[in-house]
Amino acid sequence: MELWHCADARSFRPLWMLEEMGLAYTLHMLPFPPRWAQPDYLQTNPLGTIPYFTDGEAVLTESSGILPYLAARHGPTPLAVEPHEADYALYINYLFQSDATFTFPQTLVLRYRVLEPPEKRQPAVADAYAKWFLARMSWVEAHLADGREWLCAGRFTAADIAVGYACLLSETLGLEPQLGPLTRAWWSRCRDREGFRQAKAAQAG
């Protein structure tokens, strides 16, 4: 398996999953954003996006989609929630929410606060999408209010990895202190996992 990755970008989701599962892989580190900073990457992935993940003939480019792929193809693993389990619907919803609902507004904050040249930045747009992100994360805070340690199924799963990345990005953007107290405590537990630390070390090395 091979993963093309930028440090702390959305491709951190599959990197973290690979480490949690103890799977062998080759990591290709790229500058961010690769389609501008390393144009020859377009020969590998014409979209110019990360992640780009291969497993033999299989090719995947969606960070949240790679997680259930790894669980199904290289499991069994307790990181997956199975259809017969009570929290299966919550698990599936979190996998899709993680990018479409939680990460998406942050990408616009990143663009209009950081990536655009100063004359093209739009602070009002960035602030609006920052508020959007924080409001959507109230979903996580509400679920954690029943005393659960992890997001679903009573254990750490791929849902925690998928949504956890949104918290990692929120640190980059300075939004993490505005998350709810239960969400911040859960995110701290995620960061304390050996798999998370190994993923951080892998991208640093």
pLDDT tens profile 122-153: 999 999 999 999 999 999 999 999 999 999 99
Q: What is the pTM of this model?
A: 0.97
Q: Which of helix, strand or coil describes residue 51?
A: coil
DSSP string covering 74-142: H---TTS--TTSTTHHHHHHHHHHIIIIIIHHHHHHHIIIIIS-GGG--HHHHHHHHHHHHHHTHHHHH
- The alpha carbon torsion through 50, 103, 173, 39 (nearest 10 deg) reads 20
> Is 160 within 8 Å of 190 (Cβ atoms)?
yes
> Is 54 within 8 Å of 1 (Cβ atoms)?
yes
**DSSP designation for 6:** -
The secondary structure element, H or E, covering residue 28 is strand 26-29
Q: pLDDT band at 36, cuts 50/70/90?
A: confident
Q: Which of helix, strand or coil describes residue 13?
A: helix
Q: How would you list the strands of the sheet with 26-29, edge to edge?
A: 26-29, 2-5, 52-55, 58-60
Angle at alpha carbon of residue 13, lines to 12 and 15, rounded to 5°: 60
Length of the chain: 205
Q: pLDDT band at 32, cuts 50/70/90?
A: very high
pLDDT recorded at residue 122: 97
* Bridge pairing between strands 26-29 and 52-55: unpaired
